[in-house]
Amino acid sequence: MRELGFLDGFRGQPFVCAGLTLSEEVNSSLDQGWLEYFGPGGLSSCFKKFLDCNNYISNHWFALFFIVYIFEVVIWVVTS
């Protein structure tokens, strides 16, 4: 609200003041390049990181399942 000096009368109104403060924070965050993170390129990068992580987790769980399966087969063969 520092840039909107003509709205100084609204400082006593909590809802208006909160809205103006939020608007100012959003504008300042956009000036700092947040569009790079939340724009199309940022979403693509975030989605790619998610898929890479998902692939890693899937491979990890598959390997764990395979090890447990082999362990059960070995136990079954030894006990029979």
The full set of domain ranges for the chain reads 1-32, 45-80
C-alpha distances out from residue 7 to 21, 22, 28, 49, 69, Å: 12, 15, 18, 44, 70
| Percent of the chain at pLDDT exceeding 70 | 46
DSSP states along 13-40? -HHHHHHHHHHHHHHHHHHTTTHHHHSH
Contact (CB, 8 A) for 22 and 1: no
pLDDT at site 50: 74
Give this prediction's pTM: 0.34
| Percent of the chain at pLDDT exceeding 90 | 6
